[in-house]
Amino acid sequence: MELKPDYKLTANYAQEQDCNKPVDEDPQSEDYNFLEMETDNGGGGTYYILRTKRWALDDPKEIFEIINDFIEKSKFVKDGDN
């Protein structure tokens, strides 16, 4: 899916911290882990950026659910321009 170069989409996801999160890792967010996903396009096509200090998964399939959710949001932004 291609978004126009001037379009960006950012989505933030949060989860309760996992039980092994070091206390000194991020004292500002001691109760949650955060994941930010973003699209960008420098003119050569849309690409995806993921940012997180920590994101825990009980099952690797969970990351695909998050990515699919983000893709659906991206489609809405793209289709909303038509």
Q: Which letter, b or e, does each residue of 11-47 get, where b requires 16 or more Cβ atoms within 10 Å of its Cβ?
A: eeeeeebeeebeeeeeeeeeeebebebebeeeeeebe
Domain boundaries, the chain: 10-79
End-to-end CA distance of the chain: 14
7: which 2 tokens?
């379009």
Q: Which tens digits make up the pLDDT trace of 40-63? A: 888 888 889 999 988 999 999 999
pTM: 0.73
- The confidence score (pLDDT) of residue 82 equals 44
